Amino acid sequence: MSDLLGGPVEAAAGLAVYGADAVDKSAPASTRDALVRAEVPGRLAAKDASLWGPDAEAEAKIRLGWVDTHRRSRELLVQLAELTAELGDLDHVVLAGMGGSSLAPEVIARTMGRPLTVLDTTDPGQVRAALGDRLERTVVVVASKSGSTVETDSHRRAYWQAFLDAGMTEAEAGRHFVIVTDPGSPLEATATEMGAFTVLADPNVGGRYSALTAFGLVPSALAGVEVAELIDQADELVASLAGDRDNPALALGAALGAAATLARDKVALVSDGTGIEGFGDWAEQLIAESTGKAGVGILPVVVESPRSPGATGPDVLTVSYGGALAPGDTPGGGASPDVAVNGPLGAQFLAWEYATAVAGVVLGIDPFNQPNVTESKENTNKILASGLPAETPSFTEGAIEVYAPQGAPGDLTGVLRWLLDALGDDGYVAVMAYLDRFADADTARLRTLLAEAGGRPVTFGWGPRFLHSTGQYHKGGPQVGSFLQVTGAVAEDLPVPGKPYTFGELQAAQAAGDRQALAGRERPLLRLHLTDRAAGVAQLLDAAGELRA
Ligand SMILES: O=P(O)(O)OC[C@H]1O[C@](O)(CO)[C@@H](O)[C@@H]1O
C-alpha cells in the first residue's frame, strides 16, 4: 500500500486521483511515460480508433462517442423536463434493462437518494414482486441498446400484460412505458406499435460506456434526479483528457494497466463512504467486460467495506472511490487503498471510461467488444428450444442438491473446501446466484465467508445480471477461476407473455447455458440447487462458515 497523502495527487475538475504515481513507479518502466510517448492522451481525446490495433479499429470507430456524448446529451434536457412533467402522476419508476442499460442509473439514483426499482433479473419471485408493486402509478423504462436482450424483452411483455390485466386499454398501457434504445433497433419499432414514448440514444457509445447518454439520464431524470449536474461535472473534466499532465483519468488508467502487467490483475473496488453509492457494480461491468478477453484482463472485485476480506492481497490493486473530499478528509475513508479516486459522479463516470480504455491499450485488447458473452446466450437459446439437460445430483444434503464433478467430496463443507483448494496463487472464486436479490439477499454473505476461508479474491454476482458483466471475464479472461453456481426452487412461476417459456424456465436455461460454457473450459465448477431457498441459504452459509474453523 502506498502512502496516499505522501505522494502526488493528480486532479482536475474536482476529481482527484491519489496513489497512482506510486503504482506506476513500482514497475521497472513507467507505463504512464510509455502512454505519453505514444501520445495516447491526445489521441484518445481526439477519438483515434487505431489505438487498440487494427483488429479493434472497426468497432472502435463506432464506439468512441462516450468521450463527448454528454455534450449531445444536453439536447435531451428539455425533452426530459417535458416528459417528467407529462408523467408526473406516475411516481413509481421501474427500469428494465441489463448491464450497461441499468447499472449507471442505479448508481445515480442511489447516490442522489431517489427511488428507482431496477429490474435486471429473470427470477420469477423478484419479477412478480415488481409487477405487484403500485402498478397504477408505475412508469416502466425499457432500456436496451440492441433492442433484443431477452431479459428486457420479457419484462416489457410482462408489464404490458399486467397493465392490460389491470383493466387498461392498450393506449392507456402505452403511456406507462418509456423506451430507450438505439435508432433502428427492433425495440424502436415495437415502441411505435405500443404507442410508447421513445428516446433514441447515441449509437456511437457502447452499453457499458453509456452512463451519460439517454441510458443513464432518462431513468434518472424520471426518478427525480437533476441530471444536468452530471453533464456539467463530466464537461468540466473533458479539458484535462488530452493532457499529458494534470490528467487524473490518465493517472488512473496507467495505474490499472501498470498493476495488471505486474500481475496485480485484480482490482478491489471499495467505497470510502463519502457519498457515491453502488459505483462498484457499475465499474465492475465496465472493467470486466472491457478487459476480460483473449486470456487476459483485470478482475474487478466489489467488496463491502475497506476491511472486508479480499479488499487487499498480493495480486490485488485496492482502489477506493467516493465523492469530493472535504478539506481535512483523508482519501480512502480510514483504510489505506493503493489508489483513491474522489470527485463528483459525472466526472467519475467519464474518468473510469477513459481509464478503462487506457488500460485496454496497455493490455493490448479491444475494450469495446464482448466476444464471449454470446456463447452462454446461444446455449440458453438451444436449451429453451430443446429442454433442460437431465442431470442427477452427486448427493443431497438437507435442502441442497449438490452437482459436483466425479472425485469431489461427498459432503457440502467438503465440496466447498475442494473448490477453494483448487485455486492457484492467482486464482479467484466466482459465486453466481440465480436467485432473488432481495428475498434471498443473505446469499451475498457467501462472498466474505469464502474469501476469508480461501484467502483469495471472491466475486459475487446475481444471475443473470452478472452475465452482462463479469460473465465475459469468466470465459474470456485468464482461466484461473473456480465457479460456484447457486440455483433455487421456484415457488410460483410466471409466464413470459407471448413466449413458450416461463421466467423460471428462462432463468434455469440461463444458468444451464452458462454452466455449459464454463464446463467447456475445464475449470472447477460446482452447482448447488436449493430445494427450499430459505433453508438452503441458511445451510449454505453455515457450511461456508465452518470452512474458517
Ligand atoms: O442494452 P442491451 O443491448 O440490452 O444490452 C445489455 C447488456 O448486454 C451486453 O450487451 C452483453 O452482456 C452488455 O454489454 C450490455 O450492457
Which domains, and CATH codes, for the chain? 9-64+234-363 (3.40.50.10490), 68-233 (3.40.50.10490), 373-547 (3.40.50.10490)
**The pLDDT of residue 5 is above 70:** no
% of the chain beyond a pLDDT of 70: 99
pLDDT tens by residue, 76-114: 999 999 999 999 999 999 999 999 999 999 999 999 999
Block residue for cell numbers 485455486: 423
Q: Are the C-beta atoms of 531 and 394 separated by less than 8 Å?
A: no
Residues pairing with 108 in the sheet: none
* 3 state DSSP class of 298: coil
Q: What is the pTM of this model?
A: 0.97
Relative to the CA of 471, which ligand 1 atom is closest? 12
Q: Are the C-beta atoms of 271 and 279 separated by less than 8 Å?
A: yes
Residues pairing with 180 in the sheet: 143, 199
Q: Where are the beta strands (DSSP E) in 361-412?
A: 395-397, 400-403
Cell triple for residue 456? Answer: 483469495
For atom 8 of ligand 1, the residue with the nearest CA is: 468
* Residue among 76, 350, 327 at smallest CA distance from 219: 76
State the Cα–Cα distance between residues 547 and 549, nearest whole angstrom: 5
Ligand 1 centre distance from Cα of residue 281 (Å) = 15
Relative to the CA of 468, which ligand 1 atom is closest? 12
**398: alpha, beta or left, given left = phi > 0 and alpha = psi -120 to 50?**
left
Helices (H), 53-97: 54-61, 69-73, 76-86
Name the average pLDDT for the chain.
96
For atom 14 of ligand 1, the residue with the nearest CA is: 207
**How distant is the alpha carbon of residue 288 from its chain centre?**
8
69-83, 292-306, 329-343, 488-502: least confidently modelled range: 329-343
**The pLDDT of residue 2 is above 80:** no
Select from 118, 180, 468 the residue to mutate for testing ligand 1; criterion: most ligand atoms less than 8 Å from CB.
468
Q: Are the C-beta atoms of 473 and 517 separated by less than 8 Å?
A: no
Q: Which residues, judged by CB distance below 6 Å to any ligand atom, belong to the binding site of ligand 1?
A: 98-101, 144-146, 149, 152, 207-208, 289, 370, 373, 468
Select from 149, 290, 377 the residue to mutate for testing ligand 1; criterion: most ligand atoms less than 8 Å from CB.
149
Q: How far is CA 20 from CA 2, 150, 340, 509, in A?
A: 9, 40, 8, 43
> Residue 23 has what pLDDT?
96
Reported as a pLDDT band with limits 50, 70 and 90, residue 358 is very high
For atom 4 of ligand 1, the residue with the nearest CA is: 144
pLDDT tens by residue, 129-156: 999 999 999 999 999 999 999 999 999 9
State the Cα–Cα distance between residues 468 and 475, nearest whole angstrom: 12
State the Cα–Cα distance between residues 365 and 477, nearest whole angstrom: 11
**How distant is the alpha carbon of residue 27 from its chain centre?**
29
Ligand 1 centre distance from Cα of residue 459 (Å) = 20
Query: What mean pLDDT is predicted for residues 195-223?
Result: 98
Reported as a pLDDT band with limits 50, 70 and 90, residue 308 is very high
> Residue 3 has what pLDDT?
67
